[in-house]
Structure formats: C-alpha cells, structure tokens
C-alpha cells in the first residue's frame, strides 16, 4: 500500500493521468531507443530525479520502493552471466560467461530506465485514476474489474494481518521462538478464513445491489488538461530527441 499512499499524497495527482501516461510512454520509448548502457543509465537517473525533485516524492520512500526491482535486476544480472554447456561426457555443466557482460549491462540499464519511468506514473497516480484512464483507452472491462478486486483484497489482507499481529503481540504470542512459530501458524490459518469470509461478503454485497458484472468509478475532472498534455508531449519528445541525437552521434 506504500505506492497508493505516495500517489494520493503526490502534488502531481492534480495532473491529468493521460498526460502523465503520455510522458512516461515517451520515456519508455526513449529507453528502448538507447544504444548504450550509459545512455540508458542516464535516462533512468533523469527519471528518478524528476520523480523525487519535480514530483516531490520523498527520496527515502522512493529508494524503498526502488529496492525490490533493483534487487531483481541485480539477481537477473548474475543469472544471465551463467551459461550451461555440455561437457565431453555429454553432461550439462555451467560456467561464467564474461563475454556476455556488454549485453547484460545493456539489458539491465534499459530495464532500469523502463522501471523508473513506470514508477513515475504509479507514484503520482492512484489506482482509481489509472482505472479511469484505462477505461477510456478501451481496456477490457473484465481486466479492470479483476484489478480493482485484487486491489481491494490486498487492502483486506493488509488489515487482517495488522490486526492479527497486534492482537497476538498483546497476548505475548511472540514471547520465544517456539511460541512465535505457533502464533505465526495460527495467524496464517486465521487469515485464510478471514479473507475467504470477507471475499464472500463482498460478493454478497455486490449481489444485493443487483451487480451486472461491471464496476463503476467516479472519474475526477482535471483542470488545465490541455496544458498538461502539451507540456507532457514536449517533454517526452525532448527525451526521445536527446536519445536519438546520442544514437546518431
């Protein structure tokens, strides 16, 4: 839920989601057009600076959110440097492949640029605004409903976990390793039952309101939307032009 809290608190929430999506799409295009790891890394750094300095996302929270994808990229970098080859006896063996370092660095740098561009969008746009944008883009309704339900169930899961942990700690449920394991096992089983019950309650509430299978959301109106789109388009094209000029150079 950290992403949603930061998105609701972002000063860029008043900017039209389509304008932010346009800029981030241009940044992703620029990331795909980069021809060197240095260019892709520079683009990732630029997007990070924009997110922290311009969108005013707290840098500690930004680094905390960025830690997971960067860890995944680091692990992927190590695995991509390992190649499996058969030996003289027909058995599969593995070895480090230092000749793949340029390709791996290019892949990781480009993925980092794409990740920072996507984070700029999700850290400044709540899920409700994103769903409204995707509805206007004719994304299938079933997919949007599944996203909304998954988001709701994630919230329910977090609430159940927090309440249960607080109750167990109040009863000294984690006083000792053995007691901690017993409390954790009880917590997991209890969460499964509570989430199932709350999911059934959500379904019953939808049926009681004559649900037709499509979830509806209020779409906020954004002032100066045309100005936001113009600025986003010019800034995005500037990123693409900067990358293309580097490729041509």
Q: Which residues, in sequence order, are CB contacts of 231 under 8 Å at separation 6+?
A: 19
The reply to whether the predicted model has a pTM over 0.75 is yes
pLDDT at site 133: 87
Residue 17 in domain = yes
Is the domain of 25 the same as that of 71? yes
Instruction: Please count the structural domains in the chain.
Output: 2
Is the domain of 103 the same as that of 45? yes
Residue 200, classified by CB atoms within 10 Å of its CB into exposed (0-12), middle (13-18) or buried (19+), is exposed
CB atoms within 10 A of CB 205: 10
Is the domain of 147 the same as that of 200? yes
d(CA 166, CA 103): 48
pLDDT at site 232: 92
Is the domain of 78 the same as that of 155? no
The whole domain housing 180 covers: 138-208
Residue 186 in domain = yes
pLDDT at site 87: 64
Residue 228, classified by CB atoms within 10 Å of its CB into exposed (0-12), middle (13-18) or buried (19+), is buried
Is the domain of 11 the same as that of 113? yes
Is the domain of 113 the same as that of 17? yes
pLDDT tens, position by position, for the chain (249 residues)? 788 888 889 999 889 999 999 999 999 999 999 989 999 999 999 999 999 999 999 999 999 999 988 889 888 888 888 877 766 665 566 777 788 888 889 999 999 999 999 999 999 998 888 888 888 888 888 788 778 877 877 777 777 778 888 888 888 778 778 888 888 888 888 777 777 777 777 777 767 766 665 666 667 777 778 899 999 999 999 999 999 887 655
Is the domain of 105 the same as that of 188? no
Is the domain of 49 the same as that of 168? no
Residue 130 in domain = no
């Amino acid at each position: 839920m950290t992403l949603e809290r930061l998105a609701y608190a972002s000063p860029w929430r008043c900017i039209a989601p389509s304008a932010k999506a346009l800029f981030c799409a241009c940044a992703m295009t620029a990331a795909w057009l980069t021809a060197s790891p240095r260019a892709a890394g520079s683009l990732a750094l630029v997007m990070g600076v924009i997110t922290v300095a311009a969108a005013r996302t707290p840098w500690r929270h930004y680094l905390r959110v960025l830690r997971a994808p960067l860890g995944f990229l680091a692990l992927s970098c190590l695995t991509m440097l390992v190649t499996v080859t058969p030996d003289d006896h027909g058995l599969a063996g593995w070895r480090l492949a230092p000749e793949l370092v340029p390709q791996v660095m290019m892949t990781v740098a480009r993925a980092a640029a794409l990740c920072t561009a996507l984070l700029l969008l999700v850290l400044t746009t709540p899920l409700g605004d994103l769903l409204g944008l995707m509805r206007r883009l004719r994304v299938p309704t079933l997919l949007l409903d599944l996203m909304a339900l998954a988001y709701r169930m994630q919230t329910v899961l977090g609430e159940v976990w927090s309440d249960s942990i607080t109750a167990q700690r109040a009863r000294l449920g984690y006083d000792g390793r053995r007691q901690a394991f017993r409390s954790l096992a009880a917590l997991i089983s209890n969460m499964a039952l509570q989430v199932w019950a709350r999911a059934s309650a959500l379904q019953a509430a939808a049926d009681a309101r004559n649900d037709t299978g499509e979830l509806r959301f209020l779409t906020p109106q954004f002032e100066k939307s045309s100005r936001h789109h113009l600025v986003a388009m010019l800034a995005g094209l500037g990123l693409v032009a900067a990358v293309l000029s580097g490729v041509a150079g």
